[in-house]
Amino acid sequence: MTTKIETILQSLTIEEKVSLLAGRDFWETVPIPSKGVPAIKTSDGPNGARGAIFNGGTRAACFPAAICSAATWNPDLSRRIGNALAEETLTKGARVLLGPTMCNHRHPLGGRNFESFSEDPLLAGKLSAQVVNGLQEKGVAATIKHFAANEQETKRLSVDEIISERALREIYMKPFEISIKEANPWAVMTAYNKINGIHCDSHPLLLQKILRGEWGWNGLVMSDWGGTNSTAGALNAGLDLEMPGPTRHRVTEAVTKAIKDGLLSEATIDERVRNILDLITKVGGFDNPEIPPERSVDNPAHRQLIREAAGQGIVLLKNDNGILPLSKDQVKGKKIALLGLAKEALIHGGGSASLHAHYRISPWDGLHSAYGDSVQFVFAKGAHTYRLLPPLASHCTGLDGNSGWTVELLKHGKTEEPIQVAHGHKEASFNPLTEKFTKLKDVHLSSTFIPDETGSHYLSCSGIGPTKVFINGKLVFEQKGNSEDGMAFLLGGNPEKEFTFPFNKDESYKIRIESSPPTDENDDTGILEGLPGFRMGFMKATEHDEDLLSKAVDIARDCDYAIVFTGHTPVWETEGQDQISFNLPKDGSQDKLVDAVASANPNIIVVNSTGVAIAMPWLSKVPSVVQAWFPGQEAGNAIADVISGTTNPSGRLPISWPKRIEYSPAYSNFPGQMKDGQLTVRYDEGVFVGYRHYDRISAHAVQFPFGFGLSYTSLSLKDGLVTQDSNDKFKATITAVNTSRLQGATVVQLYVGRKQRSQEHPVKTLVAFHKVFLEPGKEQTVELLVSIDDFAYFDEGSGSWKVDGGQYVFSFGQSSVHIESSVTVSIGGDRQLKC
């Protein structure tokens, strides 16, 4: 096939070569049928193959978010998930899946943390490698992302991250290195951000020296969507494919001019095209060039896998007096309050990870299925949790006299007759990608609204660019500048300021929304450059100001048990926005609910669904806490399995859980400082991320340590042993014991650190792990193989990986804090390694 690629390459004109360097549209590459080059389709995302439509498209299986998968600590499950994701990808006509996401959790407020695996590079790398293997052994290309250091969403298109080379290599690039060396992904996606002043898509250190040089990787590098920032620079650095299309930086004239000016060579163009043709070959595009229509295939095997993986990822954080599990016999005839988000299936976060799931099992549905009619369940919401008011849709009449809104398209900055008019628009929102309106146009949305209730009702509004709202000709809202992040606007996480307007029942109010494309005031509009978009929310005062808490407390007081479901809906935890608070939204309402219910009913269980650690000011009042993450479409069933005891919890935290946000390692340097229009964030914590940081400060700073998780089973470790061979390989063994009457599982975690502590190095580093399942009363010896490379550090002075001679402690534990067996090993002499 290499000969075929070279033959095709030699047949292409320079114009044809350049055309291949960017996408045809949002998801597909450019075909050249006359030369036998087909298009191939890509698809989001990391926890399911969504297909081409962002909202309401072809239904797809929703798998657990990466943070939930990581909590299983089970590479075998990750590989099976990769297999299933490949099958899902093919049903969407795609051959390239844009995932897994594998950036480290640097700070608890990272908006996209849920989409990534862990704070620890080894755990993230090992699990992501198995997802890659699972995808590619079924012929679908994995695209590991975002390379590198995409740990925040604030100003993500332009933020400059100042990172030491040691931290970059040991923490932020290490998961990518593991995945590349153990699974050889066929594609890598660059990050939006800058590292030390250079955008990742044109970063010679990342793409040339390390990725293609030291690591010897030879796949395709694509940009994040709208993340190409130059023409010659990105091509020279090694960015093969600009996405999406049509191109912004790779028009033929710009590329040929760069060649003529000596900034770019045709040999570089050939190399970029060669990598694109190679990817088409790997995914079978030349053998079968058809892009079939999207299909929705609800595979029973995928349903079972999602429920199994979710069950293994759920972490039991607290269980005083064994209040859980609630066995069917124990609660038969009882009355249980299901409060908070019990009727919402929090199956995924917002953004690229969102999709139109085959179905969504809420905790309410799952618990009813688990217990049947033997238990009486009652519900109350208890807290306002919305982030955005719903778009105004009811009681609206367009300019044509029919239900809905009228959309008018005008030349930008002009007030003459519109160049396009459409009636019957259903609500007060406009998505430019869905509507497919042309760039550099203004959009007006008009309707006559007749309220059915008198009151000072609530409105809110936001736009990608400058936006105004008029009611009966009066300006009631104006946004003068651009959205902080245009993609965040599209994904539903853009903050909106609420305001009130007095309405009288049955009176007519003419509402007009005027929106313009983004101005040139910043460079953060990305692929939305030149596109207008907006939304206007509305909520009646009676609904907005309703007292939900009192009703929930009354119900809880009248029940035998109260289960409060807390968490983040997709608009609160989403791509495009970092978290606004360490506390649960909205405005403390969920914390107030838990606290009040705990005072009303001591038999309270909290089930939290977030992809990040959160504040728990009520923790001391609550006997049991379950961390459910975003567990996919089987969410409610998996949660019910754990609550009822059908599943014995075996999830372990893939992140450290601080008591206060101020204790987190990047607290003083997140999300950075703005100066002269440039946001800069300094990674001054260096390699001391997550448990590496908490090991050096007071243990009281940690609510729950990395690797922690409870079980309904008593599990312990004993008899640790480490042997070393002449090649600096280590064999570590430990015996895991189940002393209870239930089958259970634990994760054996092996850490290595210097016996003589040093301020320059972590106290210990995770080097190996293994999940072991044990029958009641049984024990099993676990063997872990470790290389000296696994605890090497990068020495910036020599530009090499090293291990200093001396004594090292191999620590076996069930978390980073709970060490149950330790062995000291001597390493004679310093080592300089080739990693």
DSSP helix/strand/coil, 349: coil
Under 8 Å CB-to-CB from 170, ≥6 apart: which residues?
A: 121, 687, 793, 794
Name the CA radius of gyration of the chain, rounded.
27
CA angle 408, 461, 513 (to 5 degrees): 20
Closest CA to 153 of 586, 526, 613: 526
First-residue to last-residue Cα distance in the chain: 31
DSSP symbol at 350: B
CA distances from 585 to 213, 391, 486, 581 (A): 46, 20, 22, 8
Question: Please, which residues bridge with residue 750 across strands?
Answer: 768, 812
CB of 229 closer than 8 Å to CB of 208: no
Characterize 449-466 residue by residue with b for buried, 16 or more Cβ atoms within 10 angstroms of its Cβ, and e for exposed.
Answer: bebeeebebbbbbbbbbb
CB of 798 closer than 8 Å to CB of 832: yes
CB of 86 closer than 8 Å to CB of 138: yes
- Angle at which helix 121-136 crosses helix 75-91, to 10 degrees, equals 40
Alpha helices in 92-146 (DSSP H): 121-136
CA distances from 472 to 358, 398, 448, 503, 510 (A): 43, 14, 9, 11, 5
Give the β-pairing of 806-813 and 819-827: antiparallel
Burial class of residue 741 in the structure, from the number of CB atoms within 10 Å of its CB (0-12 exposed, 13-18 middle, 19+ buried): exposed
395 backbone φψ class: left, alpha, beta (φ>0; ψ -120 to 50): left
CB of 574 closer than 8 Å to CB of 351: yes
Catalytic residue among 201, 224, 278, 591: 224
Written as six digits, the tokens of 212 are: 């293609």
DSSP symbol at 206: I
Burial class of residue 775 in the structure, from the number of CB atoms within 10 Å of its CB (0-12 exposed, 13-18 middle, 19+ buried): exposed
- The one-letter amino acid at 632: G
Closest CA to 27 of 86, 102, 95, 85: 95
645 backbone φψ class: left, alpha, beta (φ>0; ψ -120 to 50): left
CB of 432 closer than 8 Å to CB of 438: no
Closest CA to 626 of 604, 646, 597: 604
- Angle at which helix 174-183 crosses helix 121-136, to 10 degrees, equals 30
Tell the residue number behind the tokens 């844009």, with chain if given. 98
Question: Please, which residues bridge with residue 284 across strands?
Answer: none
Under 8 Å CB-to-CB from 280, ≥6 apart: which residues?
A: 29, 37, 38, 40, 286
Is 224 a residue of the active site? yes
Closest CA to 240 of 251, 228, 248: 228
CB of 355 closer than 8 Å to CB of 50: yes
Other residues' Cβ atoms within 10 Å of the Cβ of residue 700: 8
Question: Please, which residues bridge with residue 444 across strands?
Answer: 408, 514
Under 8 Å CB-to-CB from 252, ≥6 apart: which residues?
A: 14, 15, 18, 19
Active site residues: 224
